[in-house]
Amino acid sequence: MATVTAPARAPVGQAEGTGARAMRYLRGNGLLILGIAFIVLYCLFPFYWMIVSSLKVEPEIFQTGLIPRSPTMENYRAVFTQQRFHLALRNSLIVAGTTTVIALAVGCFAAYALARLRFRGKFLVLGAILSIAMFPPIALLTPIFELATRLGWIDTYQAMIIPYISFTLPLTVWILTSFFAEMPWELEQAAKVDGATPGQAFRKVIIPLAAPGVFTTAILAFIYAWNEYMIALAVTQTIDRKPVTVAIATFTGSSQFQQPFGTIMAAGVLVTIPLVIMVLLFQRRIVAGLTAGGVKG
Amino acid sequence: MARSRVKVGLVALAAMLTLTACGQGGGGGGGGGEETLANGKTGPITYVTGKDTSGWVQPTIDKWNAAHPNEKVTLIELPESANDQRNQMVTTLQAKSDRYGILYTDVVWTAEFAKSGWLEEIPKDQIPEFSGMLKGPVDSVTFEGKTWAVPAASDGGMLYYRKDILDKEGKQPPKTWDELATMAKEIAPKYNMAGYSGQFFKYEGLTVNAMEAIWGAGGEALAEDGTKVVVDSPEARKGIDTLVNGFKQGWIPKEAITYKEEESRRAFQQGKLLFLRNWPYVYALASKPGKESAVAGKFAVAKLPGPSALGGHNHAISKFTKNKKTALEFIKFLTAPEQQRTRLEKSVAPVSGELYDDPAFKKQFPFLPVLKESIDTAKNRPITPYYNDVHLAIEEAVYPALQGTTSTDQAIKDLAGKLQEAIQG
Amino acid sequence: MTTTPVDQVEGARRKPGPAARFRLRDASEARLAFWLLTPTFVLLLLVVGFPILRAVYLSLFSDNRFGTPEFIGLGNYTRALFGNSSGEFWAAFGVTTMITAISVTLELLIGLGMAMIMHRAFKGRGLVRASVLVPWAIPTAVTALLWKWMYQPAGIGGIVNAVTGADILWTGRTWPSRWAIILADTWKTAPFIGLLLLAGLQIIPDELYEAAKVDGATAWQRFRRITLPLLKGAILVAVLFRLLDVLRIFDLPKILTNGANGTETLSLIAYEQAIERVRVHYGSALAVLTFLYIMLVAFLFVRVLGASVVKTQAREVK
């Protein structure tokens, strides 16, 4: 992946003006540049539009200017005052965070076994775990809802955390296994030969080696839990327990029947920005984790 | 060794399956089920309502709490959408949870909740205000001859129209659907606007609009006791046909198929509609001068050409709550004239008839006489415990006809079939 | 994808030499593996196995709205598949299948294009990769609201109609509504497929292309003869994952149309019945049917196309 061959059209050592060279580059790569521009526009324009809309209020929001004429933070204020969105953010942090911790704490043992140990039926185990990650959550929803109703678990964190484990745990095992399988475990042996105790070898060699993979897996599991909508929609009722996805979708306007898109966009930006920052910071590792785990869209 | 462990796991799993399967109901809050209204206790209680946009609820609760420190009322606000509110109430009541005390229910849910055994019967004689209430709201709390709630707020649809234009044309607002159709067809195009809109998106608002069209032509969906389907009639067909033709002939704009209350209000305020069917809340918003409303001062309201669907809410007491005596006392407090008045000040339509004739209020809300007439002549959407299925059936059958994908005949036939299925549970 | 854990693990297992010497170690490793895997499997049994069995169990009872549920065997299933209201299930079945087919095709084509471009982009690769991750990172529920906003009529801020100059009621008619869902889904996941395929492209040795160029192959021939065959594995896996994902689609139709205009998907009708109409038992039957359909698609896909993947790989080994 890191090996990148240079383009085959190296100029033959002529002194050209930068302008001419740029022209030439453009001619040779015109299509490519167009393609890149297309990708960036395709991916980012709707996101840009979300940000722009979040800065507009009525009546400007009903016009389609690409740059807000009188940008205002009014929508962001409404997100926290009218909609009390900080509660939803807190709920999502608690639910996604707890889910991630449980999935990692349990899954890392399984991943270690799958990546490092030899035993029969490994292929079967991996296959089973992968297919569980692909189960449609709707098949889990009715019994979860019914049980939550019986146990008085409607509008509680556990009614989300428990079902979320059903998809974060298999995902965690799957991605961690691929990270662990790539790790240079020989170094542990080498450290022991150099006189380190097993504890030291684990602390000084294995943990630093494994940390990035574990961290990336944690981010991915967190994002999947953070983004869940259906189960949360069914089991939560109040803003004291609703996660961000459900809260945004049930935002209400100042008058009785309004769907306040400006405020919704502002909240959308707030929910997405942390994820985008994480993605930008760790893009290389996330891509590695995703292509290994390539499970969910 | 490994195999025996698997066996243990399987046994545990089987045990869990049957265990939860046998345990009947009642995990929930528990405990509250024993208390009845007759031997009700006093103490703290919750008041469950949809999101309050009027700003009346919390101050009123505060007032009660100040006077009753040992019977404090706590507000639980549910989402704004009626559908979501119902879902949450049903979920909670099904779990026999004592979390919900007093329920602010939509008029159309009362029968379902009562039939499910989730409500306490209300001793009507203890609430003197009943005698002064409008008939529609009182009907809405009555099911199988018993009273299950106390009417709290009412609502009715009105016809918003462009007075400036009708005056110029020398016309009065339409008295029948045919008149409305003609005016919408002939006058609106002259002013480069669309004729009429209600709420035609596939949601409960469509049931309201479809039923109003059916009633307007003299039809009905279910016979009085809600156990017989009577929708397959020439009248009902004519009613639906009015709307279908509206779309076909263009006097209902094609985008109205996506309109809920807000979208249709916006279209009217932007001056795009000659007639609009909507609730009273539009009046204040459309009267705001300036950028937000292009029609301020140019519109007026009239009674709908046919009966309106009765809107509004009732107060009911959950069977599973504790402190039912306090619940009833608080409902009495909310129903008292003083609270009805302060509530009307926040423009929520009251259930007591005389407030509509109050001169001060009439001045503040010029639409009050029209609204009273609307509520007086309003009909209840079918009062049936299967209302939720009934309204979904209506939407599923009527929507494709408005879109033009099925004929009116087909829609009526589908509707009859679906209604029959719905009222059988 | 190109390096799934299975591949790596299988590779690692083959490496060590004579097995006999390790037999003792093998036994203890297997025991350790058992203990390490146990927590994961116990937990999965609790949060997946138990609910699914329970869904099946629930689906065998009737929804007696105002009484106690009765055991009715497969009654809910016959009702969904053949009964009076079987139209609902089959309509959802058709719509879900169709949305899936169109979305996955579009996503694959756009994703493939993106992968080819990203593969050749040296300058600005970081930028491209970062932007590609943005649609993926936005929660689907937020994506749905964002597109709902963009699909509004031009007069009230709808950017899609404003930019295209069209006057389409995106969420008001049957086909526009379906396309609204398909396009939003494609926007969100085509870049993701691009990433998966990019990983596949990157392991195709450049020498193959160089050699083909020397032999005078055109760009199209190189794409047909080298890129596609070698990318086939990655494409099939990406398509499989996307198939299974779109077949269970819920968030987008729920928020964009709430099932109006012929956009009721399987997950949506199951949700509506179980949660909104409080028919947990009938809803469970619909959920189980959805589950079975998705498993069947996965099975057929692996059976029919998976076999050919193995074959192509075998041929290459020879």
Two structure tokens written together for C259: 């099932």
Give the number of other Cβ atoms within 10 Å of residue A37's Cβ.
13
For residue C239, give the H/E element and its range. Answer: helix C228-247
Distance from C-alpha of A39 to C-alpha of C198, rounded to nearest angstrom: 14
pLDDT band at residue A254 under the 50/70/90 scheme: low
Does B291 lie in the same domain as B177? yes
- pLDDT on residue C127: 81
Which of C34, C172, C277 minimises the CB distance to B2? Answer: C34
The residues, any chain, with a CB within 8 Å of residue A200's CB and separated by 6 or more, are: A191
Task: Judge: C238–A294 Cβ closer than 8 Å, yes or no.
Answer: yes
Task: Judge: A268–C146 Cβ closer than 8 Å, yes or no.
Answer: yes
Q: Is C233 part of any domain?
A: yes
Q: Is B254 part of any domain?
A: yes
Q: Does C258 touch chain A (CB under 8 A)?
A: no
- pLDDT on residue C7: 52
Does B209 lie in the same domain as B98? no
Q: Sign of dihedral through CA atoms C268, C274, C275, C277?
A: positive
pLDDT band at residue A14 under the 50/70/90 scheme: very low
Residues in a beta bridge with B275: B161, B196
**Is residue C317 predicted with pLDDT exceeding 50?**
no
Does C211 lie in the same domain as C124? yes
Contact between B175 and B167 (Cβ < 8 Å): no
- pLDDT on residue A22: 65
Q: Does C149 touch chain B (CB under 8 A)?
A: no
Which of C65, C84, C172 minimises the CB distance to B258? Answer: C172
Give me the half-sphere count of Cα atoms (radius 13 Å) on the Cβ side of residue B343: 23
Write the pLDDT tens digit of every residue in B142-200. 998 999 999 999 999 999 999 999 999 999 999 999 999 999 999 999 999 999 999 99
Weakest-pLDDT range from A177-191, B224-238, C50-64, C250-264: A177-191
Does C34 lie in the same domain as C133? no
Q: Is C195 part of any domain?
A: yes
Give the number of other Cβ atoms within 10 Å of residue A16's Cβ.
11
Task: Judge: B260–A256 Cβ closer than 8 Å, yes or no.
Answer: no
By the 10 Å C-beta count (0-12 exposed, 13-18 middle, 19+ buried), B13 is classed as middle
* Contact list, B258 vs chain A (CB under 8 Å): none
Q: Is C70 part of any domain?
A: no
Which of A142, A166, A280 minimises the CB distance to C130? Answer: A280
Query: Which of B355, B376, B397 is where one domain is finished?
Result: B376
The candidate with the shortest Cα–Cα distance to C48, out of B207, A275, B227, A169, is: A169
* Contact list, C32 vs chain A (CB under 8 Å): 113, 117
Pairing of strands B45-50, B102-106: parallel
Q: Kindly list the distances between the CA atom of residue A216 and the CA atoms of A23, A100, A130, in Å, as whole numbers in the listed order.
A: 41, 11, 18
Averaged pLDDT score across all residues of chain B = 88
What's the CATH code of the domain at C198? 1.10.3720.10
Beta strands in B39-155 (DSSP E): 45-50, 73-78, 102-106, 142-143, 146-147, 150-155
Burial B300-339 (b: 16+ CB within 10 A, else e): bbbbbbbbbbbbbbbbbbbbbbbbbbbbbbbbbbbbeeeb
Distance from C-alpha of A205 to C-alpha of A186, rounded to nearest angstrom: 10
Give mean pLDDT, residues A31-35: 84
Does B247 lie in the same domain as B135? no
pTM given for the model: 0.83
Task: Judge: A150–B76 Cβ closer than 8 Å, yes or no.
Answer: no
Does C302 lie in the same domain as C159? yes
- pLDDT on residue A26: 62
* Contact list, A237 vs chain B (CB under 8 Å): 78, 88, 91-92
What's the CATH code of the domain at B227? 3.40.190.10
Q: Kindly list the distances between the CA atom of residue A91 and the CA atoms of A84, A239, A241, A244, A281, in Å, as whole numbers in the listed order.
A: 12, 9, 6, 8, 24
Does B272 lie in the same domain as B204? yes
User: Chains B and C: how many Cβ contacts under 8 Å?
Assistant: 65
Which of A150, A151, A237 minimises the CB distance to B88? Answer: A237
Which of C49, C85, C169 minimises the CB distance to B421? Answer: C85
Does C118 lie in the same domain as C202? yes
Q: Is B1 part of any domain?
A: no
Task: Judge: B80–A147 Cβ closer than 8 Å, yes or no.
Answer: no
Does B385 lie in the same domain as B270? yes
Does C124 lie in the same domain as C186? yes
Q: Which residue of B has its CA nearest to A233?
A: B84
Distance from C-alpha of C254 to C-alpha of B208, rounded to nearest angstrom: 22
Burial A252-267 (b: 16+ CB within 10 A, else e): bbeebbbbbbbbbbbb
pLDDT band at residue B271 under the 50/70/90 scheme: very high
Q: Does A227 touch chain B (CB under 8 A)?
A: no
Does C198 lie in the same domain as C54? no
Does B300 lie in the same domain as B317? no
Q: Which residue of A has its CA nearest to C120?
A: A32
CB within 8 Å of chain C, chain A residues 118-157: 118-120, 122-123, 125-127, 129, 131-132, 134-147
Question: Structurally, how many domains does chain C consist of?
Answer: 2
The residues, any chain, with a CB within 8 Å of residue B42's CB and separated by 6 or more, are: B70, B71, B323, B325, B326, B329
Q: Is C241 part of any domain?
A: yes
Does B55 lie in the same domain as B178? no
Does B197 lie in the same domain as B211? yes
Q: Kindly list the distances between the CA atom of residue B330 and the CA atoms of B64, B72, B125, B134, in Å, as whole numbers in the listed order.
A: 8, 10, 16, 21
Give the number of other Cβ atoms within 10 Å of residue A274's Cβ.
14
* Contact list, B25 vs chain A (CB under 8 Å): 150
Which chains contact C through at least 3 pairs of Cβ atoms less than 8 Å apart?
A, B
Residues in a beta bridge with B309: B379
DSSP single-letter state for residue C305: I
- pLDDT on residue C258: 86
Give mean pLDDT, residues C60-70: 85
Give me the half-sphere count of Cα atoms (radius 13 Å) on the Cβ side of residue B40: 25
Q: Is C73 part of any domain?
A: no
- Which 3 state secondary structure label does DSSP give C152? coil
Does B317 lie in the same domain as B248? no
CB within 8 Å of chain C, chain A residues 78-97: none
Distance from C-alpha of B402 to C-alpha of B256, rounded to nearest angstrom: 10
Ranked by mean pLDDT, the top range of A3-17, B224-238, C293-307 is B224-238
Give mean pLDDT, residues A239-247: 93
Domain with C25 in it: 18-58
Q: Which residue of C has its CA nearest to A126?
A: C6
Task: Judge: A257–B77 Cβ closer than 8 Å, yes or no.
Answer: no
Does C278 lie in the same domain as C226? yes
pLDDT band at residue B33 under the 50/70/90 scheme: very low
Q: Is C182 part of any domain?
A: yes
Ranked by mean pLDDT, the top range of A7-11, B396-400, C150-154, C156-160 is B396-400
Does C141 lie in the same domain as C46? no
Does B70 lie in the same domain as B87? yes
Distance from C-alpha of C267 to C-alpha of A231, rounded to nearest angstrom: 12
* Contact list, C156 vs chain B (CB under 8 Å): 263, 266
Give the number of other Cβ atoms within 10 Å of residue C159's Cβ.
19
The rounded Cα C306 to chain-centroid distance in angstroms is 16
Does B247 lie in the same domain as B132? no
Contact between C191 and A43 (Cβ < 8 Å): yes
Domain with B410 in it: 157-309+381-424
Query: Which of B353, B376, B399 is where one domain is finished?
Result: B376
Does C267 lie in the same domain as C160? yes
Which of A154, A238, A257 minimises the CB distance to B262? Answer: A257
- pLDDT on residue C25: 67
Contacts of B366-373 with C-beta under 8 Å, sequence gap 24+, read B366/B283, B367/B158, B367/B280, B367/B283, B367/B301, B370/B158, B370/B301, B370/B302, B370/B303, B371/B156, B371/B158, B371/B280, B371/B301, B373/B303
Q: Does A34 touch chain C (CB under 8 A)?
A: no
Question: Structurally, how many domains does chain B consist of?
Answer: 2
* Contact list, B51 vs chain A (CB under 8 Å): 252
Share of chain B above pLDDT 90, in %: 68
How many residues are there in chain A?
A: 297
The alpha-carbon gap from B129 to the nearest alpha carbon of chain A, in Å, equals 28
Does C148 lie in the same domain as C43? no
Q: Is B343 part of any domain?
A: yes
Does B390 lie in the same domain as B339? no
The residues, any chain, with a CB within 8 Å of residue A255's CB and separated by 6 or more, are: B53, B262, B281, B285
Q: Is B5 part of any domain?
A: no
Residues in a beta bridge with B278: B158
Does C166 lie in the same domain as C90? yes
Task: Judge: B23–A150 Cβ closer than 8 Å, yes or no.
Answer: yes
C214 φ, ψ to 5°?
Answer: -60, -40
pLDDT band at residue B28 under the 50/70/90 scheme: very low
Task: Judge: A181–C12 Cβ closer than 8 Å, yes or no.
Answer: yes
Task: Judge: B116–C171 Cβ closer than 8 Å, yes or no.
Answer: no
Does C164 lie in the same domain as C47? no
Q: Does C9 touch chain A (CB under 8 A)?
A: yes
User: Chains A and C: how many Cβ contacts under 8 Å?
Assistant: 321
- pLDDT on residue C206: 86
* Contact list, B202 vs chain C (CB under 8 Å): 258-261
